[in-house]
Amino acid sequence: MKLQNKWFIGAMMGAVISLVSTSCVDEIKFGNSFLDKAPGGNATIDTVFNSAEYTRQFLNTCYSRQYYGLPYNTDSNGNIPDSSSPYLGKKDALTDCWSLYFSDATVYQQYYLGSLNANYGTRYFPYTREMVWEVVRWCWLLMENIDRVPGMDSTEKTQLVAEAKCLIAARYFDMFRHYGGLPLLYASFTGTESGYEIPRATVEETVNYMIKMLDDAINSGGLVWAYADADLASKAGHWTKAGAMALKCKIWQFAASPLFNDVNGYAGGNSEAEQQRLVWYGGYHAELWDNCLKACEAFFKELESQGGYSLNKASEETPEQYRQAYRMGYIRQNSKEVLHSVRTNMSDAFNSSSYMWHSWAVPSLCRTEYPPTQEYVEMFPWADGTPFDWKRRKQKVSWMKCS
């Protein structure tokens, strides 16, 4: 894995980005090279972590590079994840849950036209071009320097560290889904180290790394369970204890799935990566499902105690009201259905020259449309946990018609 390690360091020591501040404090540029001096600005580590406001902005930069579920911009300079471009397409369209109609997207051309192969990850979720390693390093920089930030009390410092650990776990999980075991970082780089040979960890080690990050955040006392409506204008999208506990459930579920956890390796078990346990656990481990169950039980126990989250309910048992309840579950900032939201600040001038949401979503382009499939609709079980069945639905509600 030496080649991948070299790529890894290249990603870590690269890109410079800027953060637009919404406060009265001057805008400041951040990036890996700000260890000395960011090009175009005067920000150094001492500048950033000598200001509580700049430190908050720095964390916001980490938030801005999370995985976003729809295309929202095209950038050839490597300042945003490659998958943000409609011309690449979202990896979610490779599943049975979402459809893609933009035929110029790489995902469409490979998957829908039948030429997809096992090397898809290097194209659809590039190892060095998804801003994963940049975010991980920035979060370590924050954690290493947070104690010297003036004008910030210990409570907020604990909160920012907890959020940074959630961001690391989330970005690792984005990459884990495609590559399995990954190099594990325990500190930032200064650029003066004697070497950067970071071995690729096993699947088990990578899962444990992500889970520990989340456990540290959950048990730190720094995360609120849920934000009140009055706080959402400034806090929506920040990691919460509920979001961290939910991500923990998701990681264990994915790790316990047959992709990583089975009697035989997904590709037969004889490849070098399988022999080294880099892409599976090396066998079937029932305790992984036990871990998933325990994480889910812990979440729902906390939910029962704390409240704050619930499903939207239809005002009437009609298709229109059920559709409305579903839409409002994700479109409203104060939705009680959302455990963690990822946001982008791209705007729309609502004209054809605005290269954003409005112009991309017109029927002739469909660049930002990823509608759910029938499989997605039917995968949700009944409230008692039994699988959905159209025949049972017809018996319960007279207005539901099935052809």
Q: Residue 14: what pLDDT? A: 32
Residue 316 vs residues 25, 319, 392, 401: alpha-carbon distances, Å: 49, 9, 19, 17
Q: Are 22 and 13 in contact (CB under 8 A)?
A: no
Count of all residues that appear for the chain in the document: 403
Q: Residue 348 phi/psi, 5° resolution?
A: -140, 115
Q: Where are the beta strands (DSSP E) in 287-345?
A: none
Pair 350, 77: CB distance under 8 Å: no
Q: Taking a C-beta distance cutoff of 8 angstroms, is the pair 222, 46 a contact?
A: no
- Average pLDDT along the chain, 403 residues, taken 10 residues at a time: 33 30 37 39 80 95 91 77 87 88 88 76 78 94 96 97 98 95 91 80 98 98 94 90 98 96 90 94 97 98 96 91 90 89 69 59 80 89 85 58 36
Give dist(CA 172, CA 212) in Å, integer.
12
Type of residue at 149: V
* Beta strand residue intervals within 163-278, DSSP E: none
Q: For residue 224, give both structure tokens.
A: 């609120």
- Predicted local distance difference test score (pLDDT) of residue 190: 76
Q: Which helix (H) or strand (E) holds 29?
A: strand 28-31
Q: Give the contacts of 356 (CB within 8 A, at least 6 positions apart).
A: 72, 73, 346, 347, 348, 349
Place of tokens 């690792």: 172
pLDDT digits (tens, 9 = 90+) for 287-318: 999 999 999 999 999 999 999 999 999 999 89
Vertex 132 angle, CA 130 and 135, to 5°:
125
| 290/300 Cα distance (integer angstroms) | 15
pTM of structure: 0.85
The per-residue pLDDT for 289 is: 98
Cα–Cα distance, 44 to 145 (Å, whole number): 12
CA–CA dist 83, 74 (Å, integer):
9
Distance CA 308, CA 223 (A): 14
The DSSP code for 111 is: I
Structure tokens at 38: 């960011």
CB-count burial class (<10 Å; 0-12, 13-18, 19+) for 158: middle
- 346 touches 356 (CB < 8 A): yes
Q: What is the pLDDT of residue 171?
A: 97
In whole angstroms, give the CA distance from residue 143 to residue 137: 10
Angle at CA of residue 311, ends 162 and 292, nearest 5°: 50
